[in-house]
Structure 1
Amino acid sequence: MSSQFSEDYLIVAAIDFGTSYSGYAYSTRHDFKRNPTEVSANRLLSGNYQSLKTPTCILFDSEKKFDSFGYQAQSKYADLASDGSKGYKKWYFFQRFKMKLYKTQKFKNFMISDENGKEMLALDVFSSSISYLKNDMLEHCKNQLTGIGENDIRWVITVPAIWSEAAKSFMRKAAEKCVCGTVDITVHQVEEDGKIKELKISAGNKWGGTKVDKAFFSFLESQIGGHSLKKYKREETCDFVELYQDFELKKRQLNESINLRIPSSLRSLISQSTTKSKFTLKFWKKSGSENKFNNDSVTLKNDKLKLKSEVVYGFFEKSVAEICKLLGDILKATKADYILMVGGYSESKILQDAVKHAFSSNSRIIIPREASLSVLKGAVILGHDPTIIRERICKNTYGVVCSTRFVDGIHPNEYKFWKDGMWCCGYIFQKQVTVGQTVVVGEYQTEDILTKFSDSEDLSIAIYLSPNEDPKYVTDQGCSKIGVLNLKVKDGRHLGNSKIKIEMSFSGTEIQAKATCMATGAVAVVYLDHPP
């Protein structure tokens, strides 16, 4: 995914690899010229429910070979678990594994655990998931357009803007392995010519739909006990998967109440551990909100668990409150006129109502039809026109390592060294751009350094990033090396002191760094996997 986009393409295809659900969309160059928002997407069928996306879950066999993804993986795993044998536990079933990248900064040989605690290499799990979506999209596309091959397609993969640079780089590697990237909030300004300017660094956290699911299962845990729920999930896997699917569907269609089908295996556990009058009390007492419920707020009759709206709203409460708090902080800082809600969680009426109630008096709330598809539409549009993003906000400070004359009382003695007749201080972080700085996409940010060459040496210039505004040394906390410029300057001349021009250009997906020796004209270029 180089910043040098080839114009020899027929289709832009976008893959939205989501926390809960994943999908894809595409459009031809002809479609884009006629109507940029017109995209094609495949509707996936699960029972009686059609969706533009499929659950982000994947199944591997006991030999760690890919078997299925999405609805098919859920169904296959449930079937394996229901046959009465324990053989299914040798298979590897992963779901909602994307946000595990949010929790780590160490991605080399990074392992993730499946539903039964068995581990696989994260890169294999992610790349297999992307590969499935890519191949399914190709098959769908070939059915619609004849003669289409992989080389005719420009690919775009979405990743959360709030992810660390290391996580984004990991997703890039997973995509490159098979392709030839939550709640996050950012603020943009639409210019008069339709181009987009980023006004604020993306912000967010893990406050999306997974928090709602966690609250629901915490509620069940409060009724039957944590140990019992884990045992139930382990021994009645088929029933647990069906309950999970039922809640996923019903929470998106919330009206006054929802009815969940409770398998007999779970119904007996609930009956043994609770009575109707104290059904919800144990879960809600921790937050002091038990008085909101009546005795019939939660009822279990035969195989139906009825949850009234006030109970389901409680599952959303923490997630919605955190999102609204963050939105409020951002609006105070930016005075944005519009709030655009996109992504799967934005289709939740509870979240929509909360945002409207909190902010509609000062900002216009825009919720596109099929909000979950809007992310894919945006990705497809960006693929056709990468220049649509004009300015970005740097999420890190970038620079190079250099040395300077040592000054007693200012520089640390451990970085002191003797060179060319004077004491020098090494490990200096020379800034190229600063976190929070606005950069024009494709425009070089330039700084010069002065260095002294020996007759025999080429020059290696290490590039660093830091999350801090003013790092002094590349050894400061948070600094990390992200690349090296290897400048070959030997041409038989004694160069002595020579000026080196360092340039960095920021695109939407990567940084281009360039070093030029002003004495010889020698140039070194490197592309970095860390977007601004």
Structure 2
Amino acid sequence: MRPEYWGEEAILKATRHKDRKLLKNFKMFLCPYSMEGFYGMTYDPQNLKEQVEFADDGTTENKVNVIRVIADYLRRFHHHSIKYILAEEMDEIYSFFNRTELLEKYKIRYVITVPAMWNSLARDSMVQAAIEATMIKENEVNQLLIISEPEAAALYCEKKFTEHLNSLEGNINDTNFIVCDAGSRTVDLVTFNLQVNEKKESMICQIGDGVGDTCGSTYLDPDFMPNLQGDTYYDIDLPGKGIINFTGDSTYRMANGNKTLRMKNQDMKEIIFDPIVNRIFALIDDQIKQASKMDSKIDAILMVGGFSQSRYLQKRIKDQYKGVCHVSVPFEGVTAISHGAVSYALNPRMISKKSAGQSLGLEVQAPFYKELTDSAEKKVIGPNGVAFERGRLDYFVEKNQQLEGDRRTVYMKDVFVQYPSAAIIAIFSCDSRTGANDRYVTDNHAKIMETKIIMPSVNKRDGDLVKFKVSLQIEHIGVSVTIECQDPHINEEVRKITKNQRSSLKIKPKYSLNVASSKQSLASYSNTGYLFSITETS
């Protein structure tokens, strides 16, 4: 089933036609596990449907594929965007017939912001939706960048920091600030450290883990500012015909023919707003405690997102943390994430972290040991009868591992390949809260790189081991990998073939952690083992 209407039109149609199914909050299905682990919601599919009002009665004609639904929205957005950009901004005559030609002339790159707690699998699902929406081609995934919402907000705040924190004394080097992204449904917080060198060049580093809760403004009035002077009331317009046969209550009053609920401002504050605000306080306190454990002090809280414009929320946070840290609401706080995302697209760079936010591991062919019971189902037999483990990982960096302060740190592994087989190098990442450092490739691991190196014909015996060195470096934009053969005979042959233009069999692919990689493997496992006998996939 594909959506027929979107936005206000969809709500209107669903109201008028009871046989219509209304889909809401379906984006949550891309990362249901984060709903439980991060926001405290269940990831059971049936319960999640009820929590997010996902309409699906189980019949074939009404089955909903969430990626397809999101792709439908992105397709409409994509068509509208390119039509506006090409026709209005570039002054081109845009039509169906010259659309392809114009898209070749003007390369459009998208950057999508996602919730802080989305893992790599959820991000990859969003990329698949973008491919299905024809925003990008499957072989051009580098045209799509993905950045978390707090990171985008932090990049915006980095640019505007002096303006937002002009009340702070001294220079802003080594400043710790919390980005409080208060949205319609969720509130996400991440703490960052700002470093500014003598050349006025800045660098942002995330400290600690982000936190979040489902305490957004969906059911609150952002303009609410209680008047606690005297016996004042707050009016709430009720849907439909209002309340029938209302008998009266000391807390609530009815007006406008029982269509308006009048609630005391004090009760509105204590029953409706304060429980939400207190949950946000708990998130901020968590970030302050995390910083304290690292002997760091929070200097500022920057409020972004739609809910951050609530005058009542601003006042409560400023009052709560008066004397603790500065609280600032940037002028463009609602669009801070969008501004930061554009900044990221124009100058792609990664926000560094003091600890690894994900594991990065090399898939290796390790000897099989029957003493390790968890490896029994991974057993494969090579052509020489030797047993090996399949899907074994050897990590460059493990999740939560403390990282070196210098980004130029290079992590290295040695790989041995039997001549003349091709060298298949595959690197996986995982940012799952559980199992990120498992010994084997799991469903939570995402392949960020796979490359195949063909060895030239040299005077070697079949089965001789050829050594390759794999070096990995975490950079601003992603991961830089260098794979270089260490065998002198093969490297000598490479020099001959290239007429000394290359000194060794060496490749240096670069891969962004914020874009998807190909789902199709260059090699697959077979009963004869991996790397010993490679079964090519078409």
Task: State whether TM-score is above 0.5.
Answer: yes
Contact 1:161 1:184 in 2 (8 A): yes
Q: Residues 451 and 337 of structure 1: is their aligned pair in 2 closer, same or farther, counting only changes over 3 Å?
A: same
What pairs up with 1:128-147 in 2 under 5 angstroms?
Answer: 128-138=72-82, 141=85, 145-147=89-91
Match of 1:315 among 264, 272, 279: 272
Q: Residues 382 and 522 of structure 1: is their aligned pair in 2 closer, same or farther, counting only changes over 3 Å?
A: closer
Contact 1:391 1:439 in 2 (8 A): no
The Cα offsets for residues 174-199 of structure 1, whole Å up to 9 and x where unpaired, read as 23434236322212222213533222
Matched, 1:488 2:456: no
Tell me what 1:381 maps to. Answer: 343
Tell me what 1:191 maps to. Answer: 195
Match of 2:2 among 52, 59, 64: 64
Contact 1:402 1:430 in 2 (8 A): yes
Q: Distance in 1 between matches of 2:22 and 2:326?
A: 42
Aligned letter for 2:485?
Answer: C
User: What secondary structure, in the 3-state scheme, does the structure 1 residue paired with 2:349 have?
Assistant: helix
Tell me what 2:121 maps to. Answer: 166
What pairs up with 1:225-244 in 2 under 5 angstroms?
Answer: none
Tell me what 1:474 maps to. Answer: 440
Offset, 1:399: 0.6
Contact 2:429 2:445 in 1 (8 A): yes
Tell me what 1:326 maps to. Answer: 283
The Cα offsets for residues 216-270 of structure 1, whole Å up to 9 and x where unpaired, read as xxxxxxxxxxxxxxxxxxxxxxxxxxxxxxxx6x4444444542322453422xx
More strand by share: 1
Q: Distance in 2 between matches of 1:312 and 1:252?
A: 13
Contact 1:188 1:196 in 2 (8 A): no
Offset, 1:122: 0.9
Offset, 1:155: 2.3
Offset, 1:121: 1.4
Contact 2:471 2:481 in 1 (8 A): yes
Q: Distance in 2 between matches of 1:306 and 1:370?
A: 34
The Cα offsets for residues 255-314 of structure 1, whole Å up to 9 and x where unpaired, read as 44542322453422xx3xx5322xxxxxxxxxxxxxxxxx24554542212233334332
More helix by share: 1
Match of 2:398 among 406, 426, 434: 434
Q: Distance in 1 between matches of 2:3 and 2:375?
A: 55
Match of 2:313 among 346, 351, 356: 351
Contact 1:402 1:428 in 2 (8 A): yes
Q: Residues 164 and 432 of structure 1: is their aligned pair in 2 closer, same or farther, counting only changes over 3 Å?
A: same
Q: Residues 94 and 505 of structure 1: is their aligned pair in 2 closer, same or farther, counting only changes over 3 Å?
A: farther
Aligned letter for 1:310?
Answer: Q
Tell me what 1:501 maps to. Answer: 469
What pairs up with 1:19-418 in 2 under 5 angstroms?
Answer: 64=2, 66-67=4-5, 69-74=6-11, 76-77=12-13, 81-82=15-16, 88-104=17-33, 114-115=54-55, 118-138=62-82, 141=85, 145-147=89-91, 151=106, 153-176=108-131, 177-180=133-136, 182-192=186-196, 193-209=200-216, 213=219, 250-256=221-227, 258-268=234-244, 271=245, 275-277=247-249, 295-302=250-257, 303-313=259-269, 314-334=271-291, 335-387=297-349, 389=351, 394-404=356-366, 414=376
Contact 1:411 1:425 in 2 (8 A): no
Q: Distance in 2 between matches of 1:164 and 1:66?
A: 30
User: What secondary structure, in the 3-state scheme, does the structure 2 residue paired with 1:429 have?
Assistant: strand
User: What secondary structure, in the 3-state scheme, does the structure 2 residue paired with 1:209 have?
Assistant: coil
Q: Residues 297 and 263 of structure 1: is their aligned pair in 2 closer, same or farther, counting only changes over 3 Å?
A: closer
Tell me what 1:292 maps to. Answer: none
Offset, 1:355: 2.2
Q: TM-score, normalised by structure 2?
A: 0.62
Offset, 1:342: 0.6
Aligned letter for 2:414?
Answer: I
User: What secondary structure, in the 3-state scheme, does the structure 1 residue paired with 2:109 have?
Assistant: strand
Q: Distance in 2 between matches of 1:266 and 1:380?
A: 45
Q: Which consecutive residues of structure 1, in runs of 5 or more, have no partner in the other structure?
A: 1-62, 83-87, 214-247, 278-294
Matched, 1:518 2:486: yes
Q: Distance in 2 between matches of 1:311 and 1:137?
A: 46
Q: Distance in 2 between matches of 1:171 and 1:446?
A: 30
User: What secondary structure, in the 3-state scheme, does the structure 1 residue paired with 2:399 have?
Assistant: coil
Q: Distance in 1 between matches of 2:354 and 2:77?
A: 29
Aligned length: 400
Q: Residues 145 and 427 of structure 1: is their aligned pair in 2 closer, same or farther, counting only changes over 3 Å?
A: closer
Q: Residues 472 and 144 of structure 1: is their aligned pair in 2 closer, same or farther, counting only changes over 3 Å?
A: closer
Q: Residues 318 and 469 of structure 1: is their aligned pair in 2 closer, same or farther, counting only changes over 3 Å?
A: same
Contact 1:485 1:524 in 2 (8 A): no
Offset, 1:367: 0.7
Q: Residues 355 and 396 of structure 1: is their aligned pair in 2 closer, same or farther, counting only changes over 3 Å?
A: same
Contact 1:201 1:394 in 2 (8 A): no
Offset, 1:96: 2.7
Tell me what 1:218 maps to. Answer: none
Contact 2:252 2:261 in 1 (8 A): no
User: What secondary structure, in the 3-state scheme, does the structure 2 residue paired with 1:147 have?
Assistant: coil
Contact 2:436 2:444 in 1 (8 A): no
User: What secondary structure, in the 3-state scheme, does the structure 2 residue paired with 1:327 have?
Assistant: helix
Offset, 1:430: 1.3
Q: Residues 316 and 265 of structure 1: is their aligned pair in 2 closer, same or farther, counting only changes over 3 Å?
A: same
Q: Residues 376 and 418 of structure 1: is their aligned pair in 2 closer, same or farther, counting only changes over 3 Å?
A: closer
Aligned letter for 2:124?
Answer: S
Q: Residues 383 and 488 of structure 1: is their aligned pair in 2 closer, same or farther, counting only changes over 3 Å?
A: closer
Q: Residues 338 and 377 of structure 1: is their aligned pair in 2 closer, same or farther, counting only changes over 3 Å?
A: same
Contact 1:195 1:390 in 2 (8 A): no
Q: Distance in 1 between matches of 2:351 and 2:436?
A: 27
User: What secondary structure, in the 3-state scheme, does the structure 2 residue paired with 1:95 have?
Assistant: coil
Offset, 1:479: 5.3
Q: Distance in 2 between matches of 1:459 and 1:143?
A: 46
Tell me what 2:139 maps to. Answer: none
